[in-house]
Structure 1
Amino acid sequence: MLFMGGDRGGDRIDEAVAHTAKVLRAALDRDWSVKAGGLDWSCLYTAEHIAGDFVAYAGQLTGRPTDAYVPFEAVLDKGTAPEGAIRAIEATGGILAAVVRTTPRGVRAFHPYPAGSADAAGFAAMGVTEALLHTHDIAAALDVDAEPPASLCEAVLAHLFPHVPPTPAGGTPWTTLLWATGRGTLPGRARLPHWRWRNAASLPAGPVALREVTPAAAADLAAGGTGGFEWLGGGPFDGTRRAAEMVTKAYAAGVHRSEWGMYVLVRTADELAVGGMGFHGPPDENGCVEVGYDLVEEARGRGYASGALRSLSQWALTHPEVTSLLAVVEPGNAASQAVAVRAGYERLPDRDTNFAYGLRRA
C-alpha cells in the first residue's frame, strides 16, 4: 500500500492513469458538455483539470517553491475533443510519474494542507486521488462505471486520509474513499459536508528531520520492512518496530490521530533514517502526552535524539490541548535518561518500576 519506496508512487500514478483512460474512453460517444457529477464544471473541463493537476504537481516538485504554487497552468487547446483530453491526461500523468520517480529523497515543495509542504510520495498520492475522484465525477454524469482497484483506494486512504476510520462492514475501500471526500455515504457515518486530505509532516530538528509516518508506512515497518526509508545500519531498532505496530493497531481500531503518532528521524545530510520518535497517543484528559524514542546503534552519541526530542516537544506544546509531556524510561537505560534531561525534561516520581521525566508548558 506504500506511496514510498523505490518509485515513491510512480507505479500508482501509472495505474490510476490507465484506469482513468479506460473509464473515459468507454464514454467517448456521450455529451461531455454536461456538468460532471457534483461539480459546476463540464465533463470536458473536469478532464482538463485532471491533466492540469498532474502538471502542477510535477512543477511543484521540479520548481520546489516553499511558499506558493508555481504560477503556471496547463490547458487544452481550444476545440479539443474528449479523446484529446484523455491523451492529455495520459501525457501529463506520465510527466508526474517520471518526476516522482526521479525527485531526490527529502525534497519537499509547497502545498497548503496541512503543514505547508509535501514530498514526492505526497504529490503522487494527491495526483492519484485527483484522478480517481474526478474520473468518478465524469463517469457519474456520463453513466459509466468508474470503480478503481481496491488496492489503489487503500493506498490513498492510508497515505492521505490517516484520520479516516478504516472501511466498515458493508463498505469497500472505494466507498470509504468516496465518503472521505464528501461524495458518498457509509453505514453508520454521517455524510461529510467538508473534507481535507492530510500530507505527512516534516519537522526540522537540527541535523535531522522528524518525518511523520503514515499508517501504510507503519504497517510496513511493523511487518519487518523499511517503511519506505533508507536506514543507517540496514534497518530500525526494535523499539521503532514496536511503535509502528502501535500505530498500525490504532489505525485498524479507528482511534489513530494524525500528528500524535510516530515519526522517523532522518539525517538531512544523506537522507538516512537513524531512529524513531513519537507519541503513545493523543493528549489525555489532563493535557499530558507521552513520548518514546530510540536510535539505531550506529547513530547514537551524536545528539540526534536529544535535539529531535527538544524540537518535537516544543512543537507539541504549541497545541493548546497539550500542557505537559512525559517520558518513561527503564532504570538501566542511562542513555535514554540522558536524552530526556538534555531535551529539558525534569525527573518526576517513578512510574511503577520505571523512571519518569516530564516537561511542562512554561
Structure 2
Amino acid sequence: MSDLVTARLVLHPMTVSEAERVVAGESGTGARWAPGYPADGDVFAAKRFLRTCADTGDPQPFGNYEIRRREDGQAIGGVGFHAPADKNGSVTIGYGLIPSVRGKGYASEALRGLLKFARARGVTCVKGDADHDNIASHHVMIAAGMRPAGQDERVRYFEIAWTDTTANTDPRS
C-alpha cells in the first residue's frame, strides 16, 4: 500500500516488521525516528496492530500509519484505525505525537489526511475520543472536522459522518 501524503507529512502504512521494531524500540535499517519516538501510545498501537494481524490478518488499509515529517523523513508519531469499518461503515481512530512536535498542527493535518482517505474508501462515520482533561486532543479532532458526540465520566466522544462517501479535498464537507 502507498504512503498517504499531506502538505507537511507522510502517513506511512505500518508493516508487521515495522510494528515489531516499534514494540522492541529498535528502529532498524533505514528507519529514521525523531528523539522520543516511539512513545507509549505508539507501542500500544503497534501491539494492537500485531494482535489484529495474528488474529485476522493485516487490516490495511485500515491499520496503523507512522506519521513522518516530509522535510526530514523522521517518524514523529502515529495515526490509524482501531479496526476495519464495521457493517455500518463506521471506524474508530487514534493518533499521537511525540511531545517535542506538539502544537504545530501536525496531529490535525494527519487526522484530516486519514479522514479524507477513509471517506474515499466508503467509510460513512469516523469516531474518536479523548479524556476530559486532554483539551489539546479535543482541539485536534475539532480542527480536523469532527464534532462532539457525547461524553461519559472518563472521555469526550467525537465523530464525523457523511451521507455520501464521495472523496473530497476537505473532510469537513
Query: Do both share a fold (TM > 0.5)?
Result: yes
**Aligned partner of 1:221 among 22, 27, 36:** 22
Q: Secondary structure at the match of 1:317?
A: helix
More strand by percentage: 2
Residue 288 of structure 1, CA deviation:
0.8
Query: Which of structure 1's runs of 4+ aligned residues deviate more than 3 A?
Result: none
Partner of 1:358: 159
Residue 246 of structure 1, CA deviation:
0.5
Q: Secondary structure at the match of 2:35?
A: helix
Question: Structure 2 CA distance, aligned partners of 1:331 and 1:324?
Answer: 22
- In the superposition, the TM-score normalised over structure 1's length comes to 0.43
- Are 2:134 and 1:333 aligned? yes
- Are 2:116 and 1:314 aligned? yes
Residue 234 of structure 1, CA deviation:
4.3
Question: Structure 1 CA distance, aligned partners of 2:76 and 2:104?
Answer: 11
Q: Secondary structure at the match of 1:282?
A: coil
Question: Structure 1 CA distance, aligned partners of 2:42 and 2:139?
Answer: 19
Q: How does 1:98-177 map to 2 (within 5 A)?
A: none
Q: How does 1:284-295 map to 2 (within 5 A)?
A: 284-295=86-97
**Aligned partner of 2:9 among 183, 199, 208:** 208
Q: Is the 8 A contact 2:11 2:67 kept in 1?
A: yes
Q: Is the 8 A contact 1:226 1:235 kept in 2?
A: no
Residue 352 of structure 1, CA deviation:
5.9
Residue 248 of structure 1, CA deviation:
0.7
Residue 235 of structure 1, CA deviation:
2.1
Q: Give a deviation string over 1:150-170, Cα, whole Å, max 9, x none.
A: xxxxxxxxxxxxxxxxxxxxx
Partner of 2:168: none
Q: Give a deviation string over 1:12-62, Cα, whole Å, max 9, x none.
A: xxxxxxxxxxxxxxxxxxxxxxxxxxxxxxxxxxxxxxxxxxxxxxxxxxx
Question: Structure 1 CA distance, aligned partners of 2:144 and 2:114?
Answer: 10
Q: Give a deviation string over 1:243-298, Cα, whole Å, max 9, x none.
A: 00001111111343111110011101111111100000101122110000000111
Partner of 1:273: 75
Question: Structure 1 CA distance, aligned partners of 2:147 and 2:162?
Answer: 12
> How many aligned residue pairs are there?
162
**Aligned partner of 2:54 among 246, 252, 260:** 252
Q: Is the 8 A contact 2:82 2:91 kept in 1?
A: yes
Which one scores higher on RCO, CA 8 angstroms, separation ≥ 6?
Answer: 2
Question: Structure 2 CA distance, aligned partners of 1:351 and 1:229?
Answer: 39
Partner of 1:342: 143
Match of 2:16, as an amino acid? P
- Point out where structure 1 has 5 or more consecutive residues left out of the alignment: 1-199
- In the superposition, the TM-score normalised over structure 2's length comes to 0.88
Partner of 2:167: none
Residue 219 of structure 1, CA deviation:
1.5
Question: Structure 1 CA distance, aligned partners of 2:99 and 2:4?
Answer: 23
Q: How does 1:67-86 map to 2 (within 5 A)?
A: none
Question: Structure 1 CA distance, aligned partners of 2:61 and 2:115?
Answer: 12
Match of 1:323, as an amino acid? T
Q: Is the 8 A contact 1:219 1:244 kept in 2?
A: yes
Q: Is the 8 A contact 1:232 1:298 kept in 2?
A: no
Identity level (%): 33
**Aligned partner of 1:264 among 66, 78, 87:** 66
Partner of 1:301: 103
Match of 2:100, as an amino acid? E
Bigger Cα Rg:
1
Question: Structure 1 CA distance, aligned partners of 2:152 and 2:26?
Answer: 33
